[in-house]
Structure 1
């Protein structure tokens, strides 16, 4: 007898220790992240498709042509169905009433025939059977042995039941007594002439039938006479009427819909022509006019439109001439003031250098003179820069730079002003380089203007500077928590010499052209410069630039609103603002938010996609899960630079 060694069973503790020592699969986290990213993309695509479908449905539901066609089709269908039901009911009732009237005449004839034929009927069953057979033959059977089958009531089957016997089974007479309803026999047995609808089976098919009964009394006995009228012919007639009404109703509804579509097109076509002319006029074609022809109403519309277009053309020409004169005056004055200002500057510098030899009040006056000359020179420089933009002479000198260095330089330049007013500047920058093709001088000017503006309105509260980027776009936000912006001021801040509160004292001594020049610098890069704010809570300015020269921007990596309610804030699509659509050149496009996207901030070289608000575009994407890495250069990879030399 051989024995085999038993396999040792490890204890639970040993098994747990072995499993703890087993190396973890390093590809598991990557697989989970890959699956999550694919699911996120699929959800985003499905959400975008659903949003587009809803937008198109909403657009077509507001179309006058579609409304007229759908309304006409709906109303005509309701009218056709109602008329069809009424006509079918009237025709069916008329057919049945005619059948009942004819059947009443036939039952009277049949009763008279039975009374004459069976007046001397014998009580012997054999003799009575023969007499019943003769009476049935005389009344008329289905086999057509009597002329009664050619009556106006149509084909019928007679049934005679003697009251003494009670059923035809005792007499062995072949007649369809089972097709006579018991309720009808009860009423006839009481001496009443009555009728009832029922269903009979012939050749294996169930067909409706009308059964009419009447009592027939003789001198020796009483009988019950029934006539069974199959309604197969009437049923076929009703079905033909139903099909005719259905086909005619559908054809009439389609015809009415087509007619309504043609009529609506006659109304909509001039409106579309007027809309096309208005779009061309808005696009700058001031010579566009509507043809004055057609009905009186359309001629009146065309004449009014053409008069409005001519008035607009005249006004625009006058404004253009005035603008040209204004720009030329600004340019000429700026250039003409440059030479005397240089002379005055030289004299002021000499006085400033020797102010220690002057009395104290003269030395102070010299310092004030130099300060005002500095401000005047800054204003003159800004005017010359605006003149270059107005003349279309501004050029972009793009170079590859790390935008973080530009941000650090701008913060260092604004640090003395921040220290003066006890404002802390907090930066949120990626740890890796964010390289882009930009004009360093112009980007630095944008950032300095935004920082100075934020410090001036921060009321001593911190100013936050954040940078985020993806492979195509970078965004910089400058946020303060000061006075904020009232509704409608988000677009006005970029106007020349505009101030939110003229009575408010300025700390930086700006010229009023900084944000206007910054907007032009952003547009020259093909980017966006946008503003948003809430009164008493602060304002946020967002600069969005393409990382490649000439790139097109369709979204922004950072939210425009400081509360994060817009794109990129992590809000779910259901919590985001509803998507508003606009029609441009016959196509549906998301409309920009009026309180966030200044019309002038859309890049000149931007195509159709540039009209899409960043919030609308990014709100369709699924937000990243908590703790998941953000996009390249995004907030997920950023760190708060609390140890910055400027931060305190």
Structure 2
């Protein structure tokens, strides 16, 4: 059984639709504004019409009352002594009946004395006694004080309930006597007319609002539909479908927009194809040159090895030249190897040979390989490594290469200070950090350390003789594992690199068991980007950076 959506869910869906749909916002705003406008206009018109009907009714009533009061005055003048003569009380019902006889409006009349000593005039004996009893006291007092007044009241009618009436009261003075004349005009016709006017205005206003909403829907649809088509086409273009184009219809502004969009897409496609071709040629050139240099390098290497082996029999300058030749050939060979590796990454041919591997021996092996270089640079190693094995599904060759590049860079920039290497694992994530205490990184340099052939200080002597491609290759190796390679640095506080990898291939990373910002750094606000790790990382004037990896936003 399907359950109706909860109010919170429905409200969330409405908010989402409001944010995402321009057409919904335009139609809704048009509907609300037109409802307010038409409602206000209809209310004003209805009130004016009703006021006009009541004003006309009041004008006619005033004429009836003026004529009736003259008849009452004439009648009182003919009474010899109304205070003692019963003639006034006896013939008053007939007078009242004469006043209301033959009127098409169906009004009623009541005549009562103002002076309390004229007790013979009994309004209860008049035909409209029920209406008279419902006269408001305040209204009677105003009429008795002299004057001409009117008021609308609901009066109970036998068998019909409360009915609207226009009551007009006038004080009449004849000879020395004062009477009060009250006319009761029913407003049934006016109420029916007002109801009809309101119904007509409501129906007309509703139809007009719906019509305006429909017009707004159609107009916005004409405008929004091409925009939606442009958005979908742009999404396809961003997804790599460069042949997508908008359909051009007509010659209006939307057609001009579609034509301009298509022209832009055409230019983008041409430039992207040109860049792709240039990139392909560059990769091919790098790959071809690297391969072509292998053959002469092998020949030169054989000759250099022979000369290097026999260097003891040469003069000192020649022996030194043989050593330099051997060192430069080693560097040249490493450069060719790195260029070939970069070309494989660029071409998308790099393959990950992941297998369960213990990272502890890899760390020890890299440190042992670089210990001689570190001794020449007067740099010691500080290892913080678990005693038990740290198993992860990795490509050991690539991870060892990453670690070798990081440790070699730390030795080059260690400034005779210890290089700290840490290894930790937690919650299916393994992390390696390499920290040096050298000059650190200047503001902005943390974004450049992973660029190809970039060096923080080109004038510095390098202990490891790198090619300038080590960190670029390391980044690609980390991405191939689905991991992160990040950098932190601060002037005068050294630098630290962190490699974070999942213990199982294909797992998604959300945090790292090791800090990127070292613990010995003062806790102050971080300048630059910082990943949302499971452990907060402090730092001030600290620079944190690292290339984005698939599925991550930096």
User: 1:173 — aligned with what?
Assistant: 125
RMSD: 4.0
Contact 1:485 1:533 in 2 (8 A): no
Contact 1:475 1:543 in 2 (8 A): yes
**Does the alignment pair 1:185 with 2:145?**
no
Q: Map of 1:529-548 to 2, 5 A cutoff?
A: 529-531=484-486, 533=488, 536=491, 541-548=497-504
**Does the alignment pair 1:225 with 2:181?**
yes
User: 1:399 — aligned with what?
Assistant: 355
Distance 1:156 1:399, change over 3 A: same
User: 1:334 — aligned with what?
Assistant: 290
Superposition deviation, residue 218 in structure 1: 2.8
Superposition deviation, residue 443 in structure 1: 1.9
Distance 1:216 1:410 in 2: 123
User: 1:106 — aligned with what?
Assistant: 64
Which of 216, 220, 223 aligns to 1:264? It is: 220
SS of residue matched to 2:170: strand
Write the deviation string for residues 96-139 of structure 1: whole angstroms up to 9, x where unpaired: 32232222122213213323444434334754333222222223
Distance 1:522 1:439 in 2: 10
Contact 1:465 1:478 in 2 (8 A): yes
Contact 1:466 1:478 in 2 (8 A): no
Write the deviation string for residues 65-95 of structure 1: whole angstroms up to 9, x where unpaired: 2332233223223312322332233233223
User: 1:97 — aligned with what?
Assistant: 55
Distance 2:332 2:229 in 1: 53
Distance 1:555 1:125 in 2: 111
Q: Map of 1:388-537 to 2, 5 A cutoff?
A: 388-414=344-370, 420=377, 422=379, 425=382, 427=384, 434-454=390-410, 456=412, 460=417, 463=420, 465=422, 467-471=424-428, 474-476=430-432, 483-484=440-441, 486=443, 490=447, 493-499=449-455, 508-525=464-481, 527-531=482-486, 533=488, 536=491
Contact 1:293 1:299 in 2 (8 A): yes
User: 1:128 — aligned with what?
Assistant: 88
User: 2:304 — aligned with what?
Assistant: 348
Contact 1:289 1:309 in 2 (8 A): yes
Distance 2:467 2:354 in 1: 27
Distance 2:55 2:494 in 1: 86
Superposition deviation, residue 342 in structure 1: 2.5
Write the deviation string for residues 425-473 of structure 1: whole angstroms up to 9, x where unpaired: 564x6776553322111122223333434555566586564544434x5
Number of residue-to-residue matches in the alignment = 520
Which of 543, 553, 567 aligns to 2:532? It is: 567
Mark the structure with the bigger radius of gyration.
2
Which of 282, 302, 310 aligns to 2:266? It is: 310
Distance 1:132 1:558, change over 3 A: farther
Which of 308, 314, 332 aligns to 1:376? It is: 332
Q: Map of 1:580-595 to 2, 5 A cutoff?
A: none
SS of residue matched to 1:512: coil
User: 2:508 — aligned with what?
Assistant: 553
User: 1:158 — aligned with what?
Assistant: 109
User: 2:239 — aligned with what?
Assistant: 283
Distance 1:565 1:494, change over 3 A: closer
Distance 2:13 2:457 in 1: 40
Which of 97, 100, 103 aligns to 1:137? It is: 97
Contact 1:565 1:571 in 2 (8 A): no
Contact 1:560 1:566 in 2 (8 A): no
SS of residue matched to 1:147: coil
Distance 2:194 2:457 in 1: 83
Contact 1:475 1:542 in 2 (8 A): yes
Superposition deviation, residue 379 in structure 1: 0.6
Distance 1:324 1:399, change over 3 A: same
Distance 1:65 1:461, change over 3 A: farther
Contact 1:215 1:224 in 2 (8 A): yes
Contact 1:477 1:558 in 2 (8 A): no
SS of residue matched to 2:30: helix
Contact 1:355 1:362 in 2 (8 A): yes
Distance 2:387 2:58 in 1: 98
Q: Which has the higher contact order (CA 8 A, sep 6+)?
A: 1
User: 2:523 — aligned with what?
Assistant: none
Contact 1:464 1:480 in 2 (8 A): no
Distance 1:89 1:500 in 2: 82
Contact 2:248 2:259 in 1 (8 A): yes
Superposition deviation, residue 225 in structure 1: 0.8
Contact 1:541 1:560 in 2 (8 A): no
Contact 2:166 2:186 in 1 (8 A): yes
Give TM-score scaled by structure 1 length: 0.69
SS of residue matched to 2:125: coil
SS of residue matched to 2:471: helix
Deviates more, 1:365-374 or 1:121-130: 121-130
Distance 1:167 1:364 in 2: 150
